[in-house]
Amino acid sequence: MGRLQDKVALITGASGGIGRATALLFAKEGAKIVAADVEDEAGLETIDLVKQITEDVVYVNADVSQADDCQQMVEVAEQSFGGLHVLFNNAGIMHPDDGNAMQTSEEVWDRTMDINLKGVYLGCKFGIPAIRKSGGGTVINTASFVAIMGAATPQLAYTASKGGVLAMTRELAIIHARENIRCNSLCPGPLHTKLLMDFLDTEEKKQRRLVHIPMGRFGLAEEMAKAALFLASDESSYVNGADFVVDGGITSAYVTPE
């Protein structure tokens, strides 16, 4: 029996990175997967990979900044597999023009907030009632270590959006604790994923991040998936409202010892 046997898991941002790695791991642990994204080609590649593990997988095109799309992706989960037990609000962007307060345009700010913060709210708006109807479960919201520390390379909108995710998740955890619904934030450190590598597009920018990581390397999407599995499973049954930091030690020692 897998750790998520017969559970229905909805994962946003499933076309790559943490989302794809989590879809694969959750499937191996017995979950039925609803993979949501706006990148259809890459999303369908995720489906093909998951199908090597289980046939219990479906893809849905969903822009998490749109209420109708979020409602539809939850309805797809219910119609396809009869309910929802795990909601992983993972979709997010890191805009290349996100900088400090002076550099960041209102357009970049609004787009980042729409996806990274409003998208989590909308996922919960429609997903939590479905989890409640299914007898309970877990919500995992992807935040970031920068919500706790701030970023070495300025990305104000991203950092602020992820700070909002932390605050919102804590309140959701309080509200739904007596309903057998746990809500936690996953706070990855810097990862070797397309999202971050496209942002850190020079060796100088990469080194500016790496110098702060005690382990001396970027994390892997697969390592975040394992952390998400813990939060999704009954092994974390007393973990609620947590900022679950998986960052190679970066928040413990922001300056690496010589």
Q: What is the CATH number of the domain that holds 150?
A: 3.40.50.720
Rounded Cα gap, residues 153 and 190, in angstroms: 11
Residue 206 lies in a domain: no
CA distances from 154 to 104, 131, 208, 233 (A): 10, 37, 11, 35
Mean pLDDT for the stretch of residues 205-231: 90
> Using one digit for the tens of pLDDT, what is the confidence trace for 10-43?
999 999 999 999 999 999 999 999 999 999 999 9
Domain-embedded: residue 63: yes
Contact 142, 119 (CB under 8 A): no
Q: Is residue 114 part of a domain?
A: yes
**Are 185 and 141 within 8 A, CB to CB?**
yes
How far are the Cα atoms of 19, 51, 94, 131 from residue 29, in angstroms, in the given order? 15, 14, 30, 19
> What is the total count of domains within the chain?
1
Task: Give the Cα separation of 145 and 251 in Å (integer).
Answer: 7
Q: How confident is the model at residue 213 (pLDDT cuts 50, 70, 90)?
A: confident
Q: Is 238 a catalytic residue?
A: no
Given 59, 121, 158, 254, which residue is catalytic? 158
Distances from the Cα of 186 to the Cα of 5, 44, 90, angstroms: 22, 25, 9
Amino acid 256: pLDDT: 45
User: DSSP label at 247?
Assistant: S
**Any domain includes 125:** yes
Q: What angle do CA 143, 148, 154 make, to 5 degrees?
A: 85
